[in-house]
Amino acid sequence: MRSKGKKAGSSLVLWIIGVYLLFPLFLTFLYSLFTEWMTILPKGFSLNAYVELFQDVYFWQSILRSLIISIVPIAVCTIVVLLAMYVIIVYLPGLDKIMKIVCTIPYAVQGVILPISVLGLYANAPAPFSNRVFMLACTYCIVVLPYIYQGVRNNLNAVHAPRLLEAAQMLGAGRFYTFWKIILPNIMNGIMVSAMLAMSIVFGDFVIVNTLAGNYFPTGQMYLYAEMRQSGQHASAVIVLLFFVTLMISLAVFGLQKNKKKGR
C-alpha cells in the first residue's frame, strides 16, 4: 500500500511539474490563434499566422541554418571530447583534474563576453578564422564543451571503461574493437542526452549568433526577434513551431536509439 501511495504521489508531482512547464507554451499557442486579446476572452480566431509561416521560405531557411549550426559544433565537440576523455580515463587518469578545469572555463565566459572577445581576436585574422560562420561554429563548440564533457566523463566512469578494456583484451579483443563495439554502444545513450541538452542551448541562442554572424547567418531566433517587432501573433506562432521542431528532433533521436536497442 505504501509503495502504491508513493508511486501515485510521484506521478502526481510529475504531472503538476509538466503542467506548470507546458502551461506558458499552451497560452502562447492560444495567443497565436487569435488576432486580438485585450480582455479576458480572445477575439478573431485565425490561422493566418501559421499559413504565412509555412509559406515563408525565409522562415524555413532560418530553421535549417539553426539545425546546421546546432548539429555541426556539437558533433565536432563530442568526437574530440570523447576521444580525449577515453585516453585520459583509460591511460592518463592523472590529467583528469586538468581536463575538468579546462572544460569548465566556458561557464565563466557566457553571454555577450564570449562573442565580443572572439570577434575582437579573429575579425582581422586570415581565412578561414575571419569567416563569421566559422567563428560562430567554433564559439558554439566552446559553449557546449562543459555539457558534453560532463556527459562523456560520467558515462565513461559509469561503465568502468578501464575494466571493460582489460576484460576485452583478456578475451583477445583489440583496443579499437573494444572502444568501437563495447564501450561506445554502452555510453551512447548518455552522450545523446548531453548532446540534446547542448543542442537546446545552441538552438535557442540569440546573443552569440547576433553578435558574431548577424545578417551573415540569420537563424530561427533572429527570425523570431524580427517577428516580435512586427506582430505578437506571428511571434507566438514562431515560438510554437520552434518548440515543435526541437521536440520532433528529440523524439527522432531517442526513437533511433530505442530501435537500435531492439535490434540487438
SS3 string, 174-232, reads: CHHHHHHHHHHHHHHHHHHHHHHHHHHHHHCCCHHHHHHCHHHCCCHHHHHHHHHHHCH
Check residue 264 and give its pLDDT.
54
Would you give the DSSP letter of residue 45? E
User: What CATH code is carried by the domain that includes residue 194?
Assistant: 1.10.3720.10
* Domain identity same for 217 and 235: yes
* Domain identity same for 57 and 81: yes
* Domain identity same for 142 and 15: no
Check residue 79 and give its pLDDT.
93
Total domain count, the chain: 2
Give the tens place of pLDDT for each residue, 164-217. 888 888 888 888 888 888 888 888 888 888 888 888 888 888 888 888 887 788
Q: How confident is the model at residue 73 (pLDDT cuts 50, 70, 90)?
A: very high
pTM of this prediction? 0.83
CB 206 within 8 A of CB 136: no
* Domain identity same for 34 and 107: no
* Domain identity same for 245 and 192: yes
* Domain identity same for 55 and 170: yes
Question: Domain end: 46, 64, 80, which one?
Answer: 46
* Domain identity same for 117 and 214: yes
Closest C-alpha among 172, 144, 174 to residue 69: 144
Check residue 6 and give its pLDDT.
66
Q: What is the mean pLDDT of residues 82-107?
A: 87
Residue 109: all three cell numbers together: 565566459
Give the tens place of pLDDT for each residue, 28-58. 888 888 887 777 777 888 888 888 888 989 9
C-alpha 63/C-alpha 241 separation (Å) is 10
Domain of residue 1: give its range. Answer: 1-46
* Domain identity same for 89 and 99: yes
Q: Coil, strand, or helix at residue 139? A: helix
* Domain identity same for 152 and 211: yes
Closest C-alpha among 244, 216, 83 to residue 137: 216
Dihedral of CA 226/30/242/150: which sign? positive
* Domain identity same for 36 and 88: no
Question: Percentage of the chain surpassing pLDDT 70?
Answer: 94
